[in-house]
Structure 1
Amino acid sequence: MYPDYIFRRRFRIKRDLYLKIVQAVADHDPWFQQRRNAAGELGLSALQKVTAAFRMLAYDAPADSLDECLRLGEATIIESMRRFVRAVVGVFSDEYLRAPNEEDTARLIAINERRGFPGMLGSIDCSVNDINVLHRSHLLDNLAAGVAPQVQYSINGHAYTMGYYLADGVYPEWATLVKPITCPVGRKRQHFVVQQAALRKDVERAFGGPIVSVSHSPGGYEDMG
Structure 2
Amino acid sequence: MSRELFLRIVNALEVDPYFQQRQDAVGRLSFSPIQKCTAAVRQLAYGTSADCCDEYLRIGESTALECLKKFCKAVVPGHEVAVHFLANNSHHTRGYYLTDGIYPDWPVFVKSFQFSNDEKKRRFKEMQEAARKDVERAFGVLQARWGGNASNFDGDDGEGPSSTPQTQFNSGAPPEFAAYLARNASLKDARLHARLRDDLVEHIWARFGPVDP
TM-score class, shorter-chain normalisation, is 0.3 to 0.5
- Normalised by the length of structure 1, the TM-score is 0.39
- Normalised by the length of structure 2, the TM-score is 0.41
